[in-house]
Amino acid sequence: MRSTLPRLAVALSLLAVLPARAHEAVDSMLAAARAYLEALTPEQKQKATYPLTDAERENWNFVPIVRNGLSFKGTSTAVHALGIALLRTGVSHTGMAKAQAVMQLEVVLKELEKANPKQNRDASNYFVTIFGEPSADRSWGWRFEGHHLSFNFTIVDGKHVFFAPSFIGTNPAEVKAGPRKGERVLGEEEDLGHAFINSLDEAQRKTAVFADKALTEIVTTNKKRVDPLSPAGIAAAQLNAGQKEKLLAVVKSFVNRYHPLLADETIAAITRAGVERITFAWAGALRRGAGATYYRVQGPTFLIEFDNSQNNANHIHSTYREFKGDFGHDLLAEHYAKAHAK
């Protein structure tokens, strides 16, 4: 295979000096995707690429299965680095730290499950898939996915970026032993949920809590499309100022996983749609460590789910979805309709 190390250095330096502007994320994604594809052999590129309209685009998952795309396993150090560089263009420093920690939890799981080698835990078994041709003015997308991680980015007309559906999970939710003892990758999301539910008075909590027992999984799983869930729980309009602040902190803990400009745009869109219309619903134990918990936050445009029920409430699944923005579906459909009309 041809050497990619000089090209890798050039590509990474380019990503570091791109100018900051409204669509910095688009520019950096484009540069990183092109650099990644350029480093691949023809055989690797065939595995890594699909048309944007292919059904594979929405074939996302978060369980440990064999995926379509190019796995890091067996690729060169340079290709691996360029794949990670692409992921960095879509997520924040916080999001990147969470993603890398989740990948390394495969090492922890391998040790915990050594009596069952069929589980095949592998920190290199993560896949990059490019959909369509990365372009400055056309639509394309990319996916970074493996066990407990799924990042799906869609760029429409070279300027609109969508990052849903997205998923981060952790098993164990808290590492109980070994050199990483005490690590909680999604501890912020868990703690903020508990902080909010416990800020409610008795009457408010009666509205917010819909079940004493937590759900055993996020409701939306890996569905291609989602609708608002019921019951919705308590609305922000029923909260005092301090409680609203705690509720927004939960939302931001999910949105702030992504590139700061994308996160800012998303929070602005959520605000425009109406903060008072955001709702919060809870099921399960009200105190951390007292049992399994589940919560959902939803507004006119988005849905968040958090579930910590498996493995004796030490295994978290969390997702961020958008009712119209998943895979950029609505805007892409509008784009194709206009193109077809012409």
- pLDDT tens digits, residue range 212-230? 999 999 999 999 999 999 9
Residue 112, pLDDT score: 81
Residue 19, pLDDT score: 35
Residue 85, pLDDT score: 98
- Average pLDDT of the residues of the chain: 91
For residue 342, pLDDT over 60 is answered with: no
Instruction: Report how far residue 275's alpha carbon sits from residue 260's, in angstroms, rounded to the nearest whole number.
Output: 20
Q: What is the pLDDT of residues 37-80, one digit of tens each?
A: 999 999 999 999 999 999 999 999 999 998 999 999 999 999 99
242 is written with which tokens?
Answer: 């301090």
Residue 111, pLDDT score: 82
The mean pLDDT of 194-217, rounded to a whole number, is: 98
Residue 109, pLDDT score: 87
Q: Looking at residue 292, what DSSP letter applies?
A: -
Residue 3, pLDDT score: 46
What residues have CB less than 8 Å from 40, skipping those under 6 apart? 48, 70, 79
The mean pLDDT of 97-116, rounded to a whole number, is: 87
Residue 333, pLDDT score: 83
The rounded percent of the chain whose pLDDT value lies above 70 is: 90
For residue 2, pLDDT over 50 is answered with: no
pLDDT category of residue 121 using cuts at 50, 70 and 90: confident
Residue 107 CA: distances (Å) to CA of 81, 176, 304: 19, 14, 28
DSSP string covering 22-45 = TTHHHHHHHHHHHHHHHTS-HHHH
Q: What is the pLDDT of residues 275-313, one digit of tens each?
A: 999 999 999 999 999 999 999 999 999 999 999 999 999
In terms of pLDDT, which residue wins out, 319 or 3? 319
pLDDT category of residue 82 using cuts at 50, 70 and 90: very high
Residue 339, pLDDT score: 62
- Asked if residue 270 lies in contact with residue 278, where contact means CB atoms within 8 angstroms, the answer is yes
Residue 117, pLDDT score: 62
pLDDT category of residue 18 using cuts at 50, 70 and 90: very low
Residue 149, pLDDT score: 98
For residue 36, pLDDT over 80 is answered with: yes
What residues have CB less than 8 Å from 273, skipping those under 6 apart? 299, 300, 301
For residue 14, pLDDT over 80 is answered with: no
The rounded percent of the chain whose pLDDT value lies above 90 is: 81
Instruction: Report how far residue 171's alpha carbon sits from residue 185's, in angstroms, rounded to the nearest whole number.
Output: 9
Give the Cβ contact number of residue 217 at 10 Å: 13
Residue 22, pLDDT score: 38
Instruction: Report how far residue 54's alpha carbon sits from residue 188's, in angstroms, rounded to the nearest whole number.
Output: 36
pLDDT category of residue 239 using cuts at 50, 70 and 90: very high
In terms of pLDDT, which residue wins out, 159 or 290? 290
pLDDT category of residue 15 using cuts at 50, 70 and 90: very low
Element (H, E) at 8: helix 5-17
The mean pLDDT of 1-20, rounded to a whole number, is: 43
Residue 173, pLDDT score: 97
- Asked if residue 90 lies in contact with residue 258, where contact means CB atoms within 8 angstroms, the answer is yes
The mean pLDDT of 223-240, rounded to a whole number, is: 97
What residues have CB less than 8 Å from 192, skipping those under 6 apart? 246, 249, 250, 253
